[in-house]
């Protein structure tokens, strides 16, 4: 039934230029091509910088902020937490390949054993649980700091997410795609209305960022938050802004959305954690 709903929703949305019955590779080609045509003076790799890649005035302010990055303290906290031994003497390094260094690029990925998309934040908490420790709250705080440190060690690597030839993985990708283009909330808007159709346009005093590269710089320090937050925290905030009820962090809905959105950023360098308004 879940798969039939995904197929039906995809069929309804085929009028949208980037939501088709084509495979992920074709989706990526069309998605990337749209933004490169819309912003012809912006190199592909620059889309990692969000709105700062398309607006000179915003970029100047951002570069001034980056001289003393507000997320530096979080990286240091995350590194300390990452290397602090658990009660059994092990650390987070025991749960990840390469000791957890430079492996942000492995996420998100479809896990055949569990049949779900796995994210780096979910695996951080899984590591704690595996070692008899209390798990951390989702979205911000210590979990975001650990994720930020792991993202920092991955900076410069190129995003290269895979969708394996497994129908369950394809269904997860398609579910994320449908979510991105589906209208919701009292405002009856989708993610794409802001970040595809109106990328570069103003909403009140703010310029809407292009969707291409959105997943590259998380976790992110937002001035509005006064702290660090994960991609799923940002998803929830966007959904609230269209006056819809958000899903829980690390729900299948958000995991699948992260899978789709990160795949759409393939070819762009990882540069998290980042700083945004």
Q: In a 3-state reduction of DSSP, which class is residue 155? A: coil
Give me the DSSP letters along 53-112. GT-HHHHHHHHHHHTS-TTHHHHHHHHHHHHS--TTS--GGGGSGGGGTT-GGG-SEEET
Fold of 72-152: Cytochrome Bc1 Complex; Chain D, domain 2 (1.10.760)
pTM: predicted TM-score of the whole model, two decimal places: 0.90
Domains of the chain: which residue ranges?
Answer: 2-69+167-276, 72-152
Residue 191 annotated among the catalytic residues of the structure: no
Q: To 5 degrees, how large is the angle CA 108–CA 68–CA 217? A: 15
The hierarchical CATH code for the domain 2-69+167-276 is 1.10.760.10
Cis peptide before 219 (omega within 30 of 0): yes
DSSP 8-class letter at 41:
T
Strand order from edge to edge, sheet including 274-276? 227-229, 220-222, 274-276
pLDDT digits (tens, 9 = 90+) for 139-188: 999 999 999 999 999 999 999 999 999 999 999 999 999 999 999 999 99
CB 273 within 8 Å of CB 148? yes
Query: What totals of helices (H) and strands (E) does the chain contain, helices first?
Result: 10, 7
**Per the residue annotation, which of 95, 127, 191, 238 is the catalytic one?**
238
Q: Do domains 2-69+167-276 and 72-152 have the same CATH topology?
A: yes
Tell me: the pLDDT tens digits for 14-62? Answer: 444 444 567 999 999 999 999 999 999 999 999 999 999 999 999 999 9
Nearest to 32 by CA among 164, 207, 159, 203: 159
List the one residue out of 136, 137, 142, 126 whose CA is nearest residue 94. 126
Predicted confidence band of residue 2 (pLDDT cuts 50, 70, 90): very low
Q: Is the pLDDT of residue 114 over 50?
A: yes
Over the stretch 182-236, which tens digit does the pLDDT of each residue have?
999 999 999 999 999 999 999 888 999 999 999 999 999 999 999 999 999 999 9
Q: Which long-range contacts (CB under 8 A, 24 or more apart) does 93-98 make?
A: 94/127, 94/131, 95/123, 95/126, 95/127, 95/130, 95/131, 96/123, 96/127
Structure tokens that stand for 68 in this block: 């003393």
């Amino acid at each position: 039934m879940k798969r039939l709903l995904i197929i039906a929703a995809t069929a309804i949305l085929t009028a949208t230029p980037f939501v088709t019955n084509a495979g992920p590779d074709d989706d990526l080609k069309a998605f990337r091509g749209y933004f490169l045509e819309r912003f012809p003076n912006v190199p592909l790799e620059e889309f990692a910088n969000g709105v700062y890649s398309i607006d000179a005035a915003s970029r100047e302010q951002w570069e001034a902020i980056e001289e003393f990055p507000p997320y530096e303290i979080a990286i240091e906290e995350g590194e300390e937490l990452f290397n602090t031994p658990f009660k059994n003497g092990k650390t987070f390094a025991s749960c990840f390949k390469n000791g957890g260094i430079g492996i942000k690029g492995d996420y998100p990925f479809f896990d055949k054993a569990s049949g779900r998309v796995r994210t780096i934040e979910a695996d951080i908490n899984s590591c704690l649980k595996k070692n008899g420790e209390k798990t951390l709250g989702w979205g911000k705080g210590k979990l975001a700091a650990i994720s930020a440190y792991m993202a920092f060690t991955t900076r410069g690597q190129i995003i290269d997410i895979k969708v394996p030839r497994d129908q369950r993985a394809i269904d997860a990708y398609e579910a994320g795609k449908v979510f991105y283009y589906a209208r919701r909330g009292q405002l009856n808007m989708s993610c794409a209305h802001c970040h595809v159709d109106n990328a570069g346009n103003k909403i009140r005093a703010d310029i809407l960022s292009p969707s291409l590269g959105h997943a590259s710089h998380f976790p992110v320090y937002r001035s509005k938050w006064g702290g660090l937050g994960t991609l799923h925290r940002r998803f929830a905030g966007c959904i609230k802004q269209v006056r819809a009820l958000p899903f829980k962090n690390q729900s299948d809905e958000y995991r699948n959305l992260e899978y789709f959105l990160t795949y759409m950023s393939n070819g762009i360098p990882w540069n998290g954690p980042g700083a945004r308004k």
